[in-house]
Structure formats: structure tokens, C-alpha cells
């Protein structure tokens, strides 16, 4: 019997109803190529396998990979990768003209860096259904003016359309986590929703604007942009980052000159 490893954020799903709902949210077609992140002991893997053409599963814990090899011996559709998903090259799996469907009950300690890693590879991704901490799911879907709206909301909404699907109580896992979880769907935009001209500048302006939430844009963006330059974008320099829609950050990024590498 393997003991759950805290350092890998191991909370295993034991509620079949939740597994069925995740499977339904992914809307798999028989020709789909699915990638599961953190299969653990294979609870979700077992539900996914019959429905797709190929399933790649990325698991960092060698003991679990050995267990999965035994459990799924002879299942030719399943390809196990013992690897750190934060370094995983998803593009290497993608076939021409066929985007990946990605799913996982994510290790909460790496969910934000993982999302940024995936955004970089969105060109090979059709959509993603993830179990996350509810708090992170709320930040991903937050609108301007709400308490949870911040850098993660703006960056994620730039790359993807995001839907909050349902929440999952701690009792659905063994061991139960300390927090409530939620399942979200992220679908990379077929065409970018705003024009930023240069992604590095966009990232820099969003990071600077939210670096001190309480500050007005005039102060938070100094010395990147002057109050006049902010006003010229049609934005009040006395406003705060948390009030601005994605289009305003895009406009600010277009007004920004080249970004010094230490800022980017
Ligand atoms: N999918 C399983 C389930 O629902 O029961 C396990 C989910 S558990 C929350 C997260 C899984 O991700 C664990 O199996 C853990 O070992 C794995 N994991 C943690 N960090 C990882 C990483 N950097 N790369 C790949 N897998 C990772």
C-alpha cells in the first residue's frame, strides 16, 4: 500500500460521481488524443481509456508509475511518461492537424506555474479540463472589479476562454485536502481576443500593474509609462489595475516601449 506523498500534492479522487462528471466535461470523441496530468493510481485514467484513441499520462512519482504499469498492463492505448509535467514538451506528443485534449486532477502546489507552461504550448491544445483549488478557479474566471481579479485572471483570459464547471468537496478525496476544489474548462482562443503587439510587453505591464494592487496605475506603472501615456490610451491614470478589462492592458502594452530584460 503506497502512502500519499505530500510533496507531490497527492489527494486521490474516490468519488465515482465526480469522475463521471469530469469525463463528461471533456466530451471525448473516439478519435481524440487525450493527455492526463498526474494520473496517480489511475482513478480517472480508467474512465478515460475506453473513450479515446490514445491516452498519454504524465506522472512524476516512480512508485505510482510502476503501479499504473501493472494495473493497465496490456492496454495499448495508454502511454505512461514518468516525468515532471512542468518540463514536459506537449508539442512532442501532438500529431499534425490533431490537437490534444488535456485533463487532470492537478497537484495544487504547481497549478499556477503549470497553467503558464501550458499557455506557452496552447497551439497544440484543443481544450483542458482541470480540477483545481476553488480559490484558483475563482481567480481564473474573475471579472474586473471583483476581489479575485488579478494577474492570473488577465493572463489566463488572454489565452483561453474559461468556464467554472462545478465544485468538489474535500470528502471526495483520500486524503481530503484542506480546501474545496473546482473543475474548470479552459479553451485556447482560436483568435486572440485583443491585440498586444508584443507578448513580453503585455506580460510586463500586467505584472507591474498588479505588483501593488492598492496603487493607482500612475504609481504602479512608473517608470514604464507616464500618466500622460496612460491617459492617451483612454485610461484614467488614477484607476487601479483590478478595475481594468483585458482590452485596457492590451492598450497599455501597445503604448509601452521595448522592455528591459530584468523587467520582462
Ligand atoms: N489523478 C489522480 C486522482 O484523481 O486520484 C491523482 C491526483 S493527485 C491530486 C495529483 C497527481 O499528480 C499525483 O499522482 C502526483 O504524484 C502527480 N504529480 C505531482 N506533481 C507532478 C509533476 N510535477 N509532474 C507530474 N505529475 C505530478
Domains of the chain: 6-188 (3.40.50.150), 199-255 (1.10.8.100)
Contact between residue 90 and residue 125 where contact means Cβ atoms under 8 Å apart: yes
The predicted pLDDT at position 198 comes to 87
Decide the pairing of beta strands 160-168 and 181-188: antiparallel
Of 80, 83, 152, 86, nearest to 118 by C-alpha is 86
User: Cβ contacts of residue 109 below 8 Å, gap of 6+?
Assistant: 9
For residue 158, report the distance from its CA to the centre of ligand 1, in Å.
27
The predicted pLDDT at position 2 comes to 87
The predicted pLDDT at position 172 comes to 98
Which atom of ligand 1 lies at the shortest distance from residue 173's CA? 5
The predicted pLDDT at position 259 comes to 65
The predicted pLDDT at position 1 comes to 78
Ligand 1 pocket mutation pick from 90, 107, 118, 130 by most atoms within 8 angstroms of CB:
107
Ramachandran class of 145: left when φ > 0, alpha when ψ lies in -120 to 50, beta otherwise? left
Nearest CA to ligand 1 atom 21: 60
The number of beta carbons lying within 10 Å of the beta carbon of residue 245 is: 15
Nearest CA to ligand 1 atom 2: 40
Q: Which residues of the chain are modeled with pLDDT < 70?
A: 258-264
The predicted pLDDT at position 260 comes to 57
For residue 215, report the distance from its CA to the centre of ligand 1, in Å.
38
pLDDT tens for each residue of 18-59: 999 999 999 999 999 999 999 999 999 999 999 999 999 999
Amino acid at each position: 500500500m503506497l502512502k500519499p506523498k505530500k510533496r507531490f500534492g497527492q489527494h486521490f479522487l474516490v468519488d465515482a460521481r465526480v469522475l463521471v462528471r469530469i469525463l463528461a466535461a471533456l466530451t471525448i470523441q473516439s478519435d481524440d488524443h487525450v493527455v492526463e496530468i498526474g494520473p496517480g493510481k489511475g482513478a480517472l485514467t480508467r474512465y478515460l481509456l475506453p473513450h479515446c484513441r490514445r491516452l498519454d499520462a504524465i506522472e512524476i512519482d516512480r512508485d505510482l508509475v510502476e503501479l499504473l504499469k501493472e494495473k493497465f498492463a496490456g492496454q495499448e492505448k495508454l502511454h505512461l511518461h514518468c516525468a515532471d509535467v512542468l518540463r514536459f514538451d506537449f508539442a512532442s506528443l501532438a500529431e499534425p492537424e490533431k490537437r490534444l485534449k488535456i485533463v487532470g486532477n492537478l497537484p495544487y502546489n504547481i497549478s499556477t506555474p503549470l497553467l503558464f507552461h501550458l499557455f506557452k504550448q496552447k497551439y497544440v491544445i484543443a481544450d483542458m479540463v482541470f480540477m483545481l483549488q476553488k480559490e484558483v478557479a475563482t481567480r481564473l474566471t474573475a471579472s474586473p472589479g471583483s476581489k479575485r481579479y488579478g494577474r492570473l485572471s488577465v493572463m489566463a483570459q488572454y489565452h483561453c476562454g474559461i468556464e467554472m464547471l462545478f465544485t468538489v468537496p474535500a470528502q471526495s478525496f483520500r486524503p481530503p485536502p484542506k480546501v474545496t476544489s473546482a473543475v474548470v474548462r479552459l479553451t485556447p482562443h482560436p483568435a486572440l481576443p485583443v491585440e498586444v503587439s508584443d507578448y513580453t510587453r503585455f506580460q510586463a505591464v500586467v505584472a507591474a500593474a498588479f505588483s501593488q494592487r492598492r496603487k493607482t496605475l500612475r504609481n504602479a506603472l512608473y517608470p514604464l509609462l507616464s500618466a500622460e501615456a496612460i491617459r492617451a490610451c483612454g485610461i484614467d491614470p488614477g484607476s487601479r489595475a483590478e478595475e481594468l478589462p483585458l482590452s485596457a492592458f492590451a492598450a497599455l502594452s501597445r503604448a509601452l516601449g521595448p522592455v528591459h530584460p530584468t523587467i520582462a
